[in-house]
Copies of this chain bind each other. A is one copy, B any other.
Amino acid sequence: MSSIRVGIVGASGYSGEELIRLLVRHPGVDLRWITSRQYKDRTLQSVYPGIGRFGELEFDDLESLEKKENQLELVFLALPHGAGMDYAHFFYNRGKVVIDLSADFRLENPLDYELYYKLSHPHADLLKKAVYALPEIYPDQIAHSNLLAMPGCYPTAVLLSLAPFLKKGWIDPHSIEIVALSGSTGAGKTLDTKLLFSELADNLRPYSFPSHRHIPEMEQQIAKLVKTDSVKVIFLPILAPLRRGILLTVIGSLSQPISQAEAEEQAQEFYKEAPFVKILPGGIMPELRYVLYSNNLYFSIHVLEEKKKLLILAAIDNLGKGAAGQAIQVMNIRLGWAQTLGLIP
């Protein structure tokens, strides 16, 4: 198998680091270029001790962009929201495969960037070219696009665990309520007093309610799944004293009576060819440790007949299926490889 030449723009955050750790184990990748202003000229090995293969590669900065681009075939962007729009445009225009881990190309409506991210999108035309790269839902589009917008961590868990039921019309899309717990790496390597160990340890902190930036993304995608115009969800995220992982609860109203067995069968059927999506049977509930350091999503389904509700519990690693792991799964699909290549299903 020949290798693909890969670059990572913004390799010093938690998603970037995880991406490198996974690429080190990937048999089809030749990592050629990593950028970080902060770590410029330092070796991977010195910044991430114990990283393994590619340890001697040095961080570069973006000054050498023009010089380096012709050595690359595929570029991961792992920059803060808003910071990578021009680089996506640059690489896309030069025919590279662009896999963007930020929110920069997730939303279809440019106005949502003004509303939720307080910025005017400089390449709004590209939004139409971008594919929302949720691999279990849009594999064909992923296979044929050069601009792959990786879903957010929360939307990944919410959409994948709801999709089998939304597609069937079994859940009222306007009834969805989500309470989500997340580890601290979800908030990035950001210098913020609230993210200090002394502030988060022994603590639980709800945040960004009622207007977390992942809400428009979830609403847009739920609306697409049920082919409706507009959907509004309730979404409450809570920071827990953990480094990694998301465990969330979704409650929705049943549109029609279904049994526990029917619900489980539908999910099994829907994901019968999805190696990373695991449905827990018969009331077994996912724990966070089931998914840490993996690209798996585990979820359990609970039909509450008396209440006419469906409750779902879903767990992912925010850096795995919620970011870097899923980005590699998408790369595999785009390049025609087995989607599990370099990942443990």
Q: How many copies does the complex hold?
A: 4
Query: In the complex, are the beta carbons of A204 and B288 less than 8 A apart?
Result: yes
Partner of A238, one of B53, B185, B247: B247
Partner of A50, one of B195, B247, B296: B296
Q: Report B-chain residues with C-beta under 8 Å of the C-beta of A244.
A: 202
Query: In the complex, are the beta carbons of B181 and A204 less than 8 A apart?
Result: yes
Q: Report B-chain residues with C-beta under 8 Å of the C-beta of A181.
A: 181, 204, 238, 240
Q: In the docked arrangement, what's the CA distance between A242 and B238, Å?
A: 14
Given A179-B179, A278-B49: A196 and B198 within 8 A (CB)? no
Nearest opposing residue in chain B for A53, CB measure: B344
Tell me the smallest distance from the CB of A120 to a CB of chain B, in Å. 27
Q: Report B-chain residues with C-beta under 8 Å of the C-beta of A197.
A: 184, 195-197, 199-201, 241, 243
Q: Report B-chain residues with C-beta under 8 Å of the C-beta of A202.
A: 202, 242-245, 288-289, 292
- 0 or 1 for each of A35-53: is its CB under 8 Å from B? (1 = yes): 0000000000000011011
Other contacts beyond A24-B344, A179-B249, A181-B238: 10, CB < 8 A: A14-B198, A179-B179, A189-B196, A189-B198, A197-B243, A202-B242, A202-B245, A203-B287, A210-B304, A234-B251
